[in-house]
Structure 1
Amino acid sequence: MTSAGPSGLVTAKTLLHDAAPASFNVTIFDSQSRIGGLWPAHKSDSAGLVHPLMVANQSKHTVQFSDLAWKETDPEFPKAWQIGRYLERYSKEYGGADIRLGHKVVKAEYQARSKWEVHTISEKGTETSIFDYLVVATGFFGEPLWPEGITKQGEVPIIHSSKYRDIESLLSKAKDTSDKILIIGGQMSGVEIAGTVATHLSSLVHSPGGKSIPNAERFTIHHVSQRPAWTVPLYTSVKPDIPAPPFLPCDFPSYNLALRPHTLEDTQGHITVEAARKSNSIYRSVLGTDQSVFSQETKIDEELLDKPPVLAIGLHYMDFVRSGLIKPHRGRLLNITEDTAVISPKGCKKSGGEEFIGNIAAVIVATGFDSSPSITFLDGTIKEFLSHSPAHPDLPLALAFHGTHHSSFPTLGFVGFYRSPYWGVMEMQARFVTRLFQEHAGNNLNTLSPSLQAALRLDNSIERTLALRNDPRCSQFPMVRARTGYTNLCTNRDYAALANGRPMDILTPARYISPGASEAQRAQAAENLKSTYNTALAGLTGNRFIAPAVFRSLLGEWILERDLVSKLPSHPSGRFIGTAKFLLRNGTADGREHKFSTSHPERESDGAVDPPDMGLEYLYIEDGEFAATDTNMRFRATRRYIWRYDEDSEKISVWFARTDDPSRADYLFHEIEFIPPPSLVPDSNNGEVPTGDGKDKRESTSGKDEGWRAKAKHLCVEDWYNVHYEFFFQAVNLREWKLGYSVMGPKKDYTIHGTYRRKPAR
């Protein structure tokens, strides 16, 4: 095995625990000092290609192997270091491999009788070993790709997105006249890094205390991409056309088998015009917009609807675009001279109409990775058989049966060597490669079923891969699921609830456990299935995931109109008109020190203690004019609060700001409690969801115009505050929300009704 990342670990586990007893002895070589591959082992493990605090863009129900359950307390979308911890547990649970860390494979030679001579180098020197079989599990992330004509050393700092860690380091050499951060690349990593840098910059500007970078508010982020991507948040809805939609992790609707045709057609990455229009229509429906509400530069206009869609996952990217902190530019980077970038809107050559972006402080290239360095240990003859092409980093090798092998080398297998590795696919590939090796060993185990043998005879993956290399209609992720003929072990209970009249028949690795799995493995798979079931049920029939959906969509500026009606002359009635800004920043401990001092943080594997994760929060700034109803009195009014989201409890809380430093929290005002619409409360039939005709009862029971309601209470000395909210969504984004108070006390008796409407994009 050539890596101890997810692909290598699942292959080792399959060879050792799912194959016939004592069929294989497994050795894993990895150049790193830890297992996990891309995934860091702890919060401070920042030496690799993935930021340890990066949030996965798929939920734990997808980022899993079939026979190891995530802990119930793990977040729905784990951070990179938590995935590293999961892999540590997986390696311990299914041990038995000889894992040799700090050993880099430098050459693998194909010998007589189909054996492999593997040469490694380590601190101890060079070693040579002979193996019967070789599995390449190195993955696609060989070396960062750089735009043509852009050197790694320039007038301003230039780094790859995989090397970004914090805003202070990025801007440490910024000149006083520099005010722009340039990001190059428009797909997953480009959107992700732009949103991350914007979050860090916003936090730097709006957090209390001294500033490590003077005048940080001068910086803006300029994101250059050839075309906009559909940018989907972490939580989406199966019912995006109502103002109070239920929310689920974004991969649940995507992997709902009930929405797919009964006979799947393997298109192997080629997207027809009809398929493109259908996919683009789905994304527009999911988001409720063509993205022009954020910026004309992010709009998916008519000319793009016929083209294969580009998808990105972005938590706050779009709202930072709307606020103006991120400024998108359509085009291709031609060059950078001193601190000025030249952007061509028409391609790779100057053709008139170039855009110049000056006063650049730093550049981040998010142009992906070159996969060829991951297979440098294979000699030229082998790579020639495999049709190796460095010019096609997304399809560097032409391999058979979904990227798993080549008939010329029956003892060579590939697992996870493709773009966008879905963990279930890696697991299926590992099982298939294991079967091939068992068949080659001549154990007469009949490991290949008749259907699988037929699929192998008909397989034309190599020819199709070669055709895709220069196909202008090649999809963003050209590799498809591995079909290995395994039985779907889903039960009726996995159909969690109805969405638009169809079951949530969610594709997850735990549904495809190995046929020879042990009782312990089956128990783990059952735990995974139960977690997925409960998650879908809670999202469709309760108020789960509403808090994170609301909190994410508050970012930016709102137009606020508020009416105050008082029954006492001490508090004049009137109307307030102004704006409200939600300014994102890292969570602070002010006002909640007790919570973190008494918590019991999980310990690192090396014995160190994790610092508490305080998540994100908003500094809320309200500013405008209050006009009294019965007098000509007018005055400017402003107030500040701190809004916080706690991922563990999935609650939003509002805190008073300190009078001596209004950027800091003082004490708790209230926690927001979301109220499920009547139709989302499960029927009293043993807690099961009625199947019926699948219609959404909210349209008849609570009205088409009802938003998500929430309530809170607060006693301030002798005054009692009853607080009520209503949030109206347009698909995944808030379009309007209302906040009202009823205040009663010895000297107070008034009500407040305020409406927040989204301010148009800058």
Structure 2
Amino acid sequence: MAAPKKVCIVGAGPSGLVAAKSLLHDQPSGTFSVTIFEAQNRLGGLWPSAKHDHAGFVHPLMVTNQSKHTVQFSDLAWPDDAPEFPRAWHIGRYLERYHDRYCRDAELHLGERVVHTELLQPAEQNAEGAKWKVRTCSQDGQQLDHMFDYLLVASGFFGKPVTPSAVATCGSGDIPVIHSSQYRTLSALLEQTKGQGRKIVVVGGQMSGVEIAGTIATHLSSALHSPGSSTLRDLDKYAIHHPASSAPPFLPLDFCSYNLANRPDSLTNIQGHISTKAAKALHSAFETMLGTNQSEFSPSLAVTNTDTDKPPYLAVSDTYADFVRTGLISVSHGKVQSVTGNTVTVTTALGEVSKIDNVAAIVLATGFEAASSISFLPSSVQETLSVLPSDLNTTVALAFHGTHHPALPSLGFVGFYRSPYWGVMEMQARFVTALWAAGGPASSSLPPKMAAALAQDDSIERTLALRTDPRASQFPMGDYPWLMQEFARALEIDRLPPLGKMPRVPPADKSMDILTPARYPAKQLSEEQRTEVTKSIQQTESTAWSGVSSAKFVAKAVFRSLLGEWKLERDLVSRLPTHPSGHFSGTARFLLRERTRDGREVEHDAALERDDDIGLEYLYVEEGTFTASNGFSFRATRRYVWRYDEKKDKLSVWFVKTDDQKRADYLFHQVEFIIPDTEAEDATQIWRANAGHLCIDDFYDVDYRFNFKAVNLKDWSLGYRVKGPKKDYTIDGTYTR
């Protein structure tokens, strides 16, 4: 039997681990031996595995913008109690489980960075025919050389943060400048400002810009409205500036984006070059999904007719748009041109200039350059790969969807592209494994389907063309479902059908067909892998049915949409002469903050012991004027605490303490949503809910009506019927923006 081919994998993040799994399990045992070098002292790459691991580029509490059904590999399901949208440290824990399950036979070197590689010429290769000399450096400075047959790059596309030239020299001046990957706490950021300035400027308008602006706004709101005194001063003076059918069911975004029922049977690529017609179609799809062109949040967020001619760029946040509506985040269009003292100058594409003064700090959400992640490759290899450090999207030109270069048959790549969805990473790993097992891209032993796919591949040419294409898409490598299709065809992997009947949803009104990695399992599965695949698909199908046929996710959708200020009009009608009737007119504000311990001490402490996330809540503040039917009027206010429990998927309302109205006291009621009759002729976009509360002898019968337009709460109403020995009245309030 031939000796195993020795493979060096650079990086122990998701790409490196799935590559190791494929090399060890997708071919007969002994085909490859695997060594992984990871510069950090832990595996996981970007993803920390502890809530307080702040050493990496990703905040451990960051929530994924794809659900767990997409952020997974085919043969390891998430635990049943995992949140639908995991936090970064949950991902790190998942990767630890994945390593323990599938990568134990790989030789793992933590704290050992690859600093140099050399592609050996035939005369330099040793008796075993090794093709790569790999030099590593430990954290104590010890360097060692290793010999390998293959080199697989899984070092990650996010090499080092990009700092625009306009602010590159500001860090040592009047204003602290940090990259979004370095932001951890509001107190740490404001401590650097030394009390100077009141505006936090976020630079960068794509995914990370929206995410970090929403995160800082949430932290600022929480610090402002939580009980107790804050060590941070003048918090109320800070603001964030960012230059840049029936009652609807609620499902994770990727359930809609990756529902193959909405696409033709044979997929075509809808990424890359985006024509004007395609741009308009995509903008229309997003507007339908959201139910708005965003103008209702702020004119600065509106997508106009002129905008729809351009390729759409997508960013995801639960809080960003509503914080813009409240004014905590203000948006200005353009790029940062310069920073002078504590003033930032912004210039639009039309040459219009605006200034942001009184700046306290600058947070750069300007992305990462990838070239540093492959700086260990020889210059001749980088030249062959057409490495372009200045291109943040298409740094290298690789064949067959980012897997290899035909001129370098012993070099492979996994996950080296922007936004590497986990299913594509897994497919890339399988493809490189199969390619090397067959002898390389020029081998006559290639399976016919793989040989045909390589013969028709134009990935390198397309990548190079997109570098100068003004209509290149946000994620130019390709459309996720299309990429999965192309890999599956080349590898002759059949997509598994749904395990059971799936719900029908608009717009296609067909049974859902949700693309997840588990739908594309390897051809040869162990019984253990088969169990994980089945469990994963069952979880996805269960979530789909729960979202369509029950009230799952509705409480979260309501909670998300309440943020900010509402106009409140309320009528009180009393049936007893001892209690006046009248009308209240005023505002209701939902002020976001971290969930507090008050009133739920046992549950709170148990969650901390389990290392669970505490979540968020609102301090509800109502202020206005009550005018009685006899003409007498007075100012009135009341407060509650609204809480959402993600594990239980429950929304609840709590009384506040009389001596400290920022603190919760005890439960008022839990909101119970009523599943609408979708067959009813008068079905609307309204979700109804009810609740009850017995206060000594008085019973409060509570009725809610939440009126949604697509995923956004348009308006809502709240009614009480109060009945007791000395009370008999109704209260009906309407909340509008």
**TM-score for the superposition, normalised by structure 1:** 0.91
SS of equivalent to 1:245: coil
1:59-74 matches, cutoff 5 A = 59-74=67-82
Alpha-carbon distance between aligned partners in 2 of 1:743 and 1:702, rounded to the nearest angstrom: 31
Q: Is the 8 A contact 1:179 1:361 kept in 2?
A: yes
The equivalent of 1:328 in structure 2 is: 331
Q: Is the 8 A contact 1:494 1:505 kept in 2?
A: no
Residue in structure 2 matching 1:457, options 455, 469, 473? 455
The equivalent of 1:102 in structure 2 is: 111
Alpha-carbon distance between aligned partners in 2 of 1:491 and 1:180, rounded to the nearest angstrom: 52
The equivalent of 1:222 in structure 2 is: 241
1:291-370 matches, cutoff 5 A = 291-346=294-349, 351=351, 353-370=352-369
SS of equivalent to 2:734: strand
Alpha-carbon distance between aligned partners in 2 of 1:704 and 1:545, rounded to the nearest angstrom: 19
Alpha-carbon distance between aligned partners in 2 of 1:571 and 1:488, rounded to the nearest angstrom: 71
Alpha-carbon distance between aligned partners in 2 of 1:538 and 1:149, rounded to the nearest angstrom: 49
User: How far apart are 1:719 and its partner, in Å?
Assistant: 1.1
Q: Is the 8 A contact 2:60 2:88 kept in 1?
A: yes
The equivalent of 2:158 in structure 1 is: 141
User: How far apart are 1:600 and its partner, in Å?
Assistant: 7.8
Alpha-carbon distance between aligned partners in 2 of 1:271 and 1:330, rounded to the nearest angstrom: 22
User: How far apart are 1:450 and its partner, in Å?
Assistant: 2.1
Q: Is 1:116 aligned to 2:132, yes or no? A: yes
Q: Is the 8 A contact 1:674 1:710 kept in 2?
A: yes
SS of equivalent to 1:505: coil
User: How far apart are 1:214 and its partner, in Å?
Assistant: 1.1
Amino acid paired to 1:377 = F
Residue in structure 2 matching 1:132, options 125, 129, 149? 149
The equivalent of 2:691 in structure 1 is: 712
1:168-183 matches, cutoff 5 A = 168-174=187-193, 176=195, 178-183=197-202
How many corresponding residue pairs?
Answer: 708
Q: Is 1:417 aligned to 2:416, yes or no? A: yes
Residue by residue, what CA displacement relative to the aligned partner does 1:265-306 show, whole Å, maximum 9, x if unpaired? Answer: 236611111111100110111111111111111111111111
Residue by residue, what CA displacement relative to the aligned partner does 1:371-409 show, whole Å, maximum 9, x if unpaired? Answer: 000000001100111111112121111000000001111
1:127-526 matches, cutoff 5 A = 127-151=144-168, 152-174=171-193, 176=195, 178-225=197-244, 242=246, 244-266=247-269, 269-346=272-349, 351=351, 353-440=352-439, 448-480=446-478, 481-482=483-484, 483-484=486-487, 485=489, 486-493=492-499, 496-500=502-506, 501-526=509-534
Q: Is the 8 A contact 2:505 2:511 kept in 1?
A: yes
User: How far apart are 1:211 and its partner, in Å?
Assistant: 1.1
User: How far apart are 1:177 and its partner, in Å?
Assistant: 5.5
User: How far apart are 1:207 and its partner, in Å?
Assistant: 0.6
Q: Is the 8 A contact 2:685 2:709 kept in 1?
A: no
The equivalent of 2:5 in structure 1 is: none
Alpha-carbon distance between aligned partners in 1 of 2:631 and 2:276, rounded to the nearest angstrom: 63
Q: 1:599 to 1:274 in 2, by over 3 A?
A: closer
The equivalent of 1:11 in structure 2 is: 19
Alpha-carbon distance between aligned partners in 2 of 1:494 and 1:211, rounded to the nearest angstrom: 53
Residue by residue, what CA displacement relative to the aligned partner does 1:675-727 show, whole Å, maximum 9, x if unpaired? Answer: 11023xxxxxxxxxxxxxxxxx3xxx051435101111111111111111010
1:620-639 matches, cutoff 5 A = 620-629=620-629, 631-639=630-638
Alpha-carbon distance between aligned partners in 2 of 1:208 and 1:109, rounded to the nearest angstrom: 60
Alpha-carbon distance between aligned partners in 2 of 1:75 and 1:162, rounded to the nearest angstrom: 23
Alpha-carbon distance between aligned partners in 2 of 1:717 and 1:702, rounded to the nearest angstrom: 41
SS of equivalent to 1:8: helix
Q: Is the 8 A contact 1:154 1:338 kept in 2?
A: yes
The equivalent of 1:50 in structure 2 is: 58
Task: Provide the aligned C-alpha RMSD in A.
Answer: 1.7
SS of equivalent to 2:439: helix
User: Mean Cα displacement is larger for which, 27-36 or 492-501?
Assistant: 492-501
The equivalent of 2:125 in structure 1 is: none
Alpha-carbon distance between aligned partners in 1 of 2:304 and 2:266, rounded to the nearest angstrom: 32
SS of equivalent to 1:440: coil
User: Mean Cα displacement is larger for which, 413-422 or 743-752?
Assistant: 743-752
The equivalent of 2:90 in structure 1 is: 82
The equivalent of 1:741 in structure 2 is: 720
Residue by residue, what CA displacement relative to the aligned partner does 1:652-671 show, whole Å, maximum 9, x if unpaired? Answer: 11000110000110111011
The equivalent of 2:619 in structure 1 is: 619
Q: 1:537 to 1:189 in 2, by over 3 A?
A: same
Amino acid paired to 2:558 = V
Alpha-carbon distance between aligned partners in 2 of 1:445 and 1:660, rounded to the nearest angstrom: 81
Q: 1:150 to 1:598 in 2, by over 3 A?
A: closer
User: How far apart are 1:156 and its partner, in Å?
Assistant: 0.9
Amino acid paired to 1:186 = G
Alpha-carbon distance between aligned partners in 1 of 2:29 and 2:650, rounded to the nearest angstrom: 49
Alpha-carbon distance between aligned partners in 1 of 2:172 and 2:182, rounded to the nearest angstrom: 14
Q: Is the 8 A contact 1:494 1:506 kept in 2?
A: no
SS of equivalent to 2:503: strand
User: How far apart are 1:346 and its partner, in Å?
Assistant: 2.3
The equivalent of 2:703 in structure 1 is: 724
Alpha-carbon distance between aligned partners in 2 of 1:176 and 1:361, rounded to the nearest angstrom: 8
Amino acid paired to 1:185 = G
Q: Is 1:752 aligned to 2:731, yes or no? A: yes
Residue in structure 2 matching 1:544, options 546, 552, 561? 552
Q: Is 1:28 aligned to 2:36, yes or no? A: yes
SS of equivalent to 2:476: coil
Q: 1:172 to 1:276 in 2, by over 3 A?
A: same
Amino acid paired to 1:71 = P
User: How far apart are 1:451 and its partner, in Å?
Assistant: 2.4
User: Mean Cα displacement is larger for which, 38-47 or 115-124?
Assistant: 115-124
**Structure 1: stretches of 5+ with no match in the other structure:** 226-240, 603-609, 680-696
**Structure 2: stretches of 5+ with no match in the other structure:** 1-8, 123-129
SS of equivalent to 2:82: coil
Alpha-carbon distance between aligned partners in 2 of 1:88 and 1:298, rounded to the nearest angstrom: 40
Alpha-carbon distance between aligned partners in 2 of 1:175 and 1:103, rounded to the nearest angstrom: 38
User: How far apart are 1:731 and its partner, in Å?
Assistant: 1.2
Amino acid paired to 1:729 = F
Alpha-carbon distance between aligned partners in 2 of 1:656 and 1:187, rounded to the nearest angstrom: 40
Amino acid paired to 2:502 = A
Alpha-carbon distance between aligned partners in 1 of 2:621 and 2:109, rounded to the nearest angstrom: 55
SS of equivalent to 1:496: coil
After the TM superposition, which parts of structure 1 deviate over 4 Å for at least 4 consecutive aligned residues? none
Q: Is the 8 A contact 1:494 1:529 kept in 2?
A: no
Residue in structure 1 matching 2:588, options 580, 597, 604? 580
1:671-686 matches, cutoff 5 A = 671-679=670-678
Q: 1:124 to 1:149 in 2, by over 3 A?
A: closer
Residue by residue, what CA displacement relative to the aligned partner does 1:11-30 show, whole Å, maximum 9, x if unpaired? Answer: 00110112112111100000
